[in-house]
């Protein structure tokens, strides 16, 4: 059995569509016949909520997996894809892990036993470059970086690249950016066009060809506990993530 490809979705800026991209890309992989696990590494639990699961009702969550070595299978719920759920107590994991040996490898260790059960493992991360995100980057083969084109921050991307270089040097030599996804693109504005041009000047072919445009569907779907692919299967938003999935699967190694 081959092992899952592990993809972390990271950008320390909030509101750039990390969670939206993690879920919808994961569902698009699923539509292509792949077995997919999503892991919620954000204490806000937005990924968990976006599949209709109330984090406050969870007895066990990723906190117990990371801190108490509970099997990750115990916190996986089957929805459109499998979801390893998080709740607010995950916020305490950074402190609980801080003094432990191998604190950066807690997630990698947790995923090892299930890597043959899936083709893709998609990890959603919180808006910081703290220990939870470091755990995701250490467990990952590839990183996908959603970037909001309206408030493009090159400095933010440089910081992320520096953190990734540190992870590569000390923890996970193979990890690399698979691609940058322009999200929340408002194609009517000149600003968005310019922002994408700047992105391509700096990152060249690492910018995916797919663009995720702004649409209210992305706000509506999570309220119903659905991905956009299920909420509006024929819509352009769903198509954008299906196209991105094809790029990830076929395009780059």
Q: Which residues form the interface with Mg ion (CB under 5 A)?
A: 18-19, 46
Q: How far is Cα 242 from Cα 44, in angstroms, rounded to an integer?
A: 26
Q: Which does 215 bind (CB under 5 to 8 A by kind): Mg ion, ligand ADP, none?
A: ligand ADP
Rounded-to-integer distance, Cα 245 and Cα 234, Å: 16
Estimate the crossing angle of helix 18-31 against helix 236-246, to 10 degrees.
70
The closest of 159, 213, 212, 204 to 179, measured between CA atoms, is 204
CA 225 to chain centre: 18
Binding flags for ligand ADP, 217-246, as an x/- string (CB under 6 A): -xx--x------------------------
Contact between 211 and ligand ADP per CB under 6 A: no
- As measured in angstroms, the least distance from the Cβ of 16 to ligand ADP is 4
Identify which range of 61-69, 93-101, 105-113, 208-216 contacts ligand ADP by CB under 6 A. Answer: 208-216
Q: How far is the CB of 184 from ligand ADP (least distance, A)?
A: 5
Closer by beta carbon to Mg ion, 19 or else 138: 19
- In the numeric block, the tokens 């299930």 are attached to 114
Segment interacting with ligand ADP (CB under 6 A) among 27-35, 74-82, 85-93, 212-220: 212-220
> Taking CB under 6 A as the rule, does residue 120 contact ligand ADP?
no
> How far apart, in whole angstroms, are the C-alpha atoms of residue 153 and residue 3?
35
Give the Cα separation of 28 and 32 in Å (integer): 7
User: How far apart, in whole angstroms, are the C-alpha atoms of residue 37 and residue 83?
Assistant: 6
Select 1 or 219, whichever has its Cβ closest to ligand ADP. 219
By CB under 6 A, what part of segment 33-62 binds ligand ADP?
Answer: 46
Q: Rounded CA gap, 144 and 123, in Å?
A: 10
Q: Which is nearer to ligand ADP, 16 or 131 (CB)?
A: 16
**Near ligand ADP by CB under 6 A: residue from 5, 105, 214, 242:** 214
Q: Read off the tokens for 160.
A: 């992320």
- Find how far residue 61's CA is from the centre of its chain: 17
Out of ligand ADP, Mg ion, none, which partner does residue 16 contact, by CB within 5 to 8 A per kind? ligand ADP
The contact set with ligand ADP (CB under 6 A) reads 14-20, 46, 127, 183-184, 212, 214-215, 218-219, 222
């Amino acid at each position: 059995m081959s092992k899952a490809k592990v993809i972390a979705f990271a950008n320390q800026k909030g509101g750039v569509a990390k969670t939206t991209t993690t879920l919808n890309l994961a569902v698009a992989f699923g539509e292509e016949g792949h077995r997919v696990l999503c892991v919620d590494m954000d204490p806000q639990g937005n990924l968990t909520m976006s599949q209709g699961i109330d984090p406050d009702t969870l007895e066990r969550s990723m906190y117990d997996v990371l801190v108490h070595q509970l099997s990750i299978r115990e916190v996986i719920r089957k929805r459109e894809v499998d979801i390893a759920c998080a709740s607010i107590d995950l916020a305490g994991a950074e402190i609980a892990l801080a003094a432990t040996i191998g604190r950066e490898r807690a997630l990698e260790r947790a995923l090892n036993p299930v890597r043959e059960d899936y083709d893709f493992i998609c990890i959603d991360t919180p808006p910081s470059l703290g220990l939870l995100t470091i755990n995701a980057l250490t467990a990952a083969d590839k990183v996908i970086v959603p970037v909001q084109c309206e408030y493009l921050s090159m400095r933010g991307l440089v910081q992320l690249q520096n953190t990734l270089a540190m992870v590569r040097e000390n923890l996970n030599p193979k990890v690399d950016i698979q691609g940058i996804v322009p999200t929340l693109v408002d194609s009517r504005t000149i600003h968005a066009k310019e922002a994408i041009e700047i992105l391509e000047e700096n990152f060249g072919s690492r910018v995916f060809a797919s663009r995720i445009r702004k649409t209210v569907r992305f706000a509506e779907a999570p309220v119903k506990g659905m991905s956009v692919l299920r909420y509006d299967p024929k819509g352009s938003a769903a198509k954008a993530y299906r196209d991105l999935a094809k790029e990830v699967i076929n395009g780059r190694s």
